Amino acid sequence: MSSQPVSAPDSATAEPLTIMGAGLVGSLLSLFLARRGHQVDVYERRADMRRGGAVEGRSINLALSDRGWRALEAVGIGDEIRQVAIPMYRRVMHDVHGNLSFQPYGKDNQAIYSVSRAGLNRTLLTLAEAEPRIRLHFNQQLTSLDPRHRRLELRDTVTGQEQELAFRRLFGTDGAFSAVRSALQKTERYNYSQSYLDYGYKELNIEPGPDGEWLLEKNALHIWPRGQYMMIALPNLDGSFNCTLFFPYEGKHSFASLQTPAQVQAFFEEIFPDVVPLMPELTDEYFRNPTGSLVTIRCFPWAFDDDVLLLGDASHAIVPFYGQGMNAGFEDCTVLNELMEQLGDDWPAIFSQFQQQRKPNADAMAELAVYNFEEMRDRVGDPRFLLQKKIESK
């Protein structure tokens, strides 16, 4: 966390750059590129999330860890984000009788941090907007991309109006179902795979106490490991927790088996008894909130010549059990920035070295993420595992 904030080089010739997708990775990337002296145009399909309206999408809060912090520090916004981040120093496991056990995340108060996805994205957008070199364009959906001729088509999601644009260099940060990647998939010898778990996820909520207090230990990540499935909870600044139930689609205990409010209530009372009194809206939320799917996406190459480059989930979407999807996307930005620092305007070398460096790391992360699911849902509740962790932490 020690790197100096990026400052713009004396580069009057820096090229205008295009970013597709102003999610977590795209908005952070825009800051890195602008601070290296580039004019940056960012296009985003959704409306500006800072102008009200519900935020569609995945988990409400996220675990931010060291590789993510390093990127935020590198653009000089670590302090701003720390104001809205809650340190989680340990895992707290809840067994079926409500008994608790604990595993520290490290020695010397090491922690991972709970942050609001929307809050973090809004902050990044506000910082991007304050940069004179960045222009944000909302309600602009990429509908077509011709990487060979460096042309793209956008549709205004409000008016339906279409426009065609030429670009010099395009960064695809448009997420797991990336339209930029879809276009690359049609180029020659493109490798792509997607693999879904037989598990989905459902978000639920623990409300704050009457005085706005946290009803579970605040500075911890809570886990209810249950062998074939599990629930986790991360704290929010307002005293609430967001819970995520990771659950099979089919089987005895599954989304398919819970069809009525009475079934949901009875299941939670039996399996997660200590949390039921903290979830007054349980059955309403269970049926109101969508069931999300869990996918691993691998592809290669990430670059098309030195014209198009994929970063973040667009190139490496992983399942969330290692809490590293966003963190890895932020690390993409750090590595790209280091390569720009070393290689100046040699974009062919920057794109090529970026994908060579990052691909093995992304693949390793994808495997660890699936492995960690087995550990969290199953082994963290095992007394032998707890003993081993206790010994390791000494």
Residue with tokens 């939320």: 285
Which residues within the stretch 49-108 sit at the binding site for ligand FAD (CB under 6 A)?
58-59, 62-63
- The site string for ligand FAD over 219-258 (x = CB under 6 A, - otherwise) reads -------------------------x--------------
Phi, psi of 228 (to 5 degrees): -90, -5
Of the candidates 184, 135, 144, 138, the one whose C-alpha atom is nearest the C-alpha of residue 163 is 144
39, 141, 219, 289: residue in contact with ligand FAD (rule CB under 6 A): 141
Structure tokens at 11: 């580069």
Q: Specify the pairing of strand 220-225 against strand 230-235.
A: antiparallel
Nearer to ligand FAD, 172 or 381 (CB): 172
User: What single-letter amino acid sits at 140?
Assistant: Q
Nearer to ligand FAD, 161 or 388 (CB): 161
Contact segment (CB under 6 A) with ligand FAD among 23-31, 255-263, 356-364, 376-384 equals 23-31
Residue 138 near ligand FAD by CB under 6 A: no
Shortest separation between residue 314's beta carbon and ligand FAD, angstroms:
6
Residue 175 near ligand FAD by CB under 6 A: yes
17, 325, 337, 355: residue in contact with ligand FAD (rule CB under 6 A): 325
DSSP string for residues in 344-360: TT-HHHHHHHHHHHHHH
DSSP string for residues in 18-35: EEE--SHHHHHHHHHHHT
Structure tokens at 314: 């667009």
170-172 β-sheet, strand order: 134-137, 40-43, 17-20, 170-172, 308-310, 303-304
d(CA 112, CA 67): 11
Nearer to ligand FAD, 14 or 222 (CB): 222
- Residue of this chain nearest to ligand FAD (CB atom): 23
Q: How far is CA 109 from CA 27, 112, 171, in A?
A: 30, 10, 37
Residue 179 near ligand FAD by CB under 6 A: yes
45, 91, 133, 202: residue in contact with ligand FAD (rule CB under 6 A): 45
Nearer to ligand FAD, 26 or 381 (CB): 26
170, 326, 339, 369: residue in contact with ligand FAD (rule CB under 6 A): 326
17, 25, 85, 204: residue in contact with ligand FAD (rule CB under 6 A): 25
d(CA 364, CA 298): 11
- Give contact residues for ligand FAD (rule: CB under 6 A): 20-26, 43-46, 58-59, 62-63, 141-142, 173-175, 179, 201, 244, 292, 312-314, 320, 323-327, 329
